Structure 1
């Protein structure tokens, strides 16, 4: 039965796409929600002077600010209502998941099923509001001081009232994005939060291409460098597609079953373990923990006097943590590797899988059911997670280093391509699943009609 489903899925085409009305509605809803997201990225915070802000961002361009803009679709440099994006939610999710692994009360909630997950999601939203308030306050105060230090008035009426309004607006923008992401997940196609992040990155692609070819036209970037950059992007996409589909398939044996016609052949199946079980979550988590504090630090560092000890220290730290710098790459790699193992342990529980196999009579040949199976699954999963963590680290780190070496002023690294390719593959897989379900539904209807005619 599984082989028939695999063959049907492999031979599935989009010929019957026009008949899948529900799927088309889901796709149109997703597109409409992403258009709303892009409109919001151009709505500035109340009290911000757009012209002065443009001059300010031109002076502060480079480094962490441009890297964070890649994930927010340019919302940060425009100081829009969604300047913080969904990064506070991701950071709060990290904290809650870490706490659920360490705190007994939260660990008990995690085991309660849907009710416990709903409670943890509620705590995550509370944490998101708290982080938005802190980050929004520092962002608003940093904008005021940074503009004043550069002789510009990016804020029409600076003061406490502007900061309060900015914090409330940023909290509302982030929470609206979370609601929009939930609506995409439930009524659209794909994971809503991941699609919002991907839409922000894709929205920057025209800017990336324009900067690249403009640099070639003016002579700042040579033709071999442009060719090497394009070749690196193509090779990177092929590597990501290969490793994201790589699996370790464990043979599962089921005992023979007695039926009215006699003994049946023993059933066999496979338990697929993805090489990259954590998906795109580790780079997103590592980026959210690293980029946003560095962005606020950049505002604070530029607003301080470089002759003072505090300003000089912050400026030196920003230089060490610039794109392609060893310290930044080391911290980023450590974060990716840690979250690879952490999130894999969150999404895949060997004990539960072994128990489910035992209840259904399945076993791995040569491995005893129960604890021995759980230990074997944990052993195999750890080994392939090591390979997956190395793959993610290299894909995210090497392009960052190469772009710095090539001298290309484009902040399109492996992390951005990884998110775009991974989310695109996942969305296409969900579209194919809907088409497959629709095709099965048509087959069942035809079978019922034939049965009635007989």
Structure 2
């Protein structure tokens, strides 16, 4: 019987084990969100974030899964790890040593790069943790209550160590999730944080409508925008540019092989949800330090970096477009693909094999990546600009919707691939038994 649906998961103990690992590790992450850093008045901090919902603090809190609002041990979230990954990948382009480790050293080289990324994560955590600790000492709720109960060097050291340890533990959780579970662990942690905040966002929106700050008509408009955005994301994420490939007939002994026509699928958004996550990480790192600083020019910079400001969104779009091309160049190798097509006797109609094929694939990929970059930018920026004017939580913004849909589709796609591979192995096993009986 064909394994064609998720209902067949019960028949595969190995897949059930992977799913249980994934959900158990996500549960550990969500449990840690509610463990606060000592020395902080949680009530005063909650009042402060209630007044900063649609600011940079609200956006940062969304990516930390609500950890910053509680100042939990996971308050920094997984973003320092992503920032370190960005820095290492950018250095790979300009550093011959890192490039050699990535391409020539194989698994050992990748482990070394992962080690460098971890060191970078710790360094970023120390910097951000100290900035947050120093900034919290000068913060107070709208009613004037201080956020930190006992200020001083002891609070700073304790906060820095706690936040750094929490992010390192999250980094380990993500790696374990990728190794023992299903999907990319780092993306699933961000996904879990956003989804966990949806009920609160819905209740806040309902409260706004109840007290008269939002009309029913506006709520309907926002719902229509959300549904249209979701449909657009699904449509674009499945979009492909198929390049036809013909294979010439060739004779091996008495049999004739080849002669078929297939295609090379190029996704419109090859980079997936990585560009908006990277862009948010880059913008939040300096902006976070500015928010928690008492220096006047840094405070002014923090005001310019408000997610609803024009400057923030221009920078956001520019960084998204850059990382759409950058990450696509990392994960997709036109030269290697053209060489494989040539080795297998294939060719693109009207294009000479070899270098011309590589140039053609590279040209097509660059063109559709531009469309993909514009799509990701529009999804991330336009709903944010529209919704920020109506005091709706960030969870309904384009970045969060893109991450939720993209990671969700990738997660379900990996489950489907696992089911198909198991079905294929089962068929091959049956064929082997039948052949053995003869």
Q: TM-score, normalised by structure 2?
A: 0.94
Whether the 8 Å contact between 1:71 and 1:200 is mirrored in structure 2 is: yes
Say how many residue pairs are matched. 437
Looking at structure 1, the residues matched to 53 and 72 of structure 2 have their Cα atoms a distance apart, in angstroms, of: 17
Structure 1 counterpart of 2:75: 83
Structure 2 counterpart of 1:122: 115
Q: Are 2:319 and 1:345 aligned?
A: no
Partner-residue secondary structure (3-state), 1:273: strand
Deviation at 1:314, TM superposition (A): 4.4
Whether the 8 Å contact between 1:324 and 1:403 is mirrored in structure 2 is: no
C-alpha spacing 1:52/1:260, structure 2 compared with 1 (3 Å): same
Listed one character per residue, the Cα deviations across residues 20-65 of structure 1 (whole Å, up to 9, x for unaligned) are 1111111111111100000001111133333343344345544111
Structure 2 counterpart of 1:398: 382
Higher mean displacement: 183-192 or 103-112: 103-112
Whether the 8 Å contact between 1:395 and 1:414 is mirrored in structure 2 is: yes
Q: Are 2:319 and 1:335 aligned?
A: yes
Structure 1 counterpart of 2:16: 24
C-alpha spacing 1:351/1:42, structure 2 compared with 1 (3 Å): same
Which of residues 305, 315, 330 in structure 2 aligns to 1:321? 305
Partner-residue secondary structure (3-state), 2:68: coil
Structure 1 counterpart of 2:65: 73
CA RMSD of aligned residues (A): 2.1
C-alpha spacing 1:92/1:150, structure 2 compared with 1 (3 Å): farther
Q: Are 2:25 and 1:41 aligned?
A: no
Which of residues 240, 244, 249 in structure 1 aligns to 2:242? 249
Looking at structure 1, the residues matched to 334 and 433 of structure 2 have their Cα atoms a distance apart, in angstroms, of: 44
Looking at structure 1, the residues matched to 52 and 376 of structure 2 have their Cα atoms a distance apart, in angstroms, of: 30
Deviation at 1:400, TM superposition (A): 0.7
C-alpha spacing 1:120/1:394, structure 2 compared with 1 (3 Å): same
Higher mean displacement: 112-121 or 262-271: 262-271
Deviation at 1:248, TM superposition (A): 1.0
C-alpha spacing 1:60/1:299, structure 2 compared with 1 (3 Å): farther
Listed one character per residue, the Cα deviations across residues 150-175 of structure 1 (whole Å, up to 9, x for unaligned) are 85343343211221221111111111
Mind listing any 5+ residue stretches in structure 2 that lack a counterpart? none
Looking at structure 2, the residues matched to 32 and 141 of structure 1 have their Cα atoms a distance apart, in angstroms, of: 34
Looking at structure 1, the residues matched to 311 and 277 of structure 2 have their Cα atoms a distance apart, in angstroms, of: 18
Q: Are 2:367 and 1:383 aligned?
A: yes
Partner-residue secondary structure (3-state), 2:357: helix
C-alpha spacing 1:80/1:402, structure 2 compared with 1 (3 Å): same
1:347-426 correspondence runs (5 A):
347-426=331-410
Partner-residue secondary structure (3-state), 2:306: coil
Q: Are 2:101 and 1:109 aligned?
A: yes
Q: Are 2:139 and 1:140 aligned?
A: no
Structure 2 counterpart of 1:169: 162
Looking at structure 2, the residues matched to 130 and 12 of structure 1 have their Cα atoms a distance apart, in angstroms, of: 46
Which of residues 190, 193, 213 in structure 2 aligns to 1:200? 193
Looking at structure 2, the residues matched to 148 and 220 of structure 1 have their Cα atoms a distance apart, in angstroms, of: 22
Structure 2 counterpart of 1:211: 204
Mind listing any 5+ residue stretches in structure 1 that lack a counterpart? 1-7, 305-309
Which of residues 267, 273, 280 in structure 2 aligns to 1:274? 267
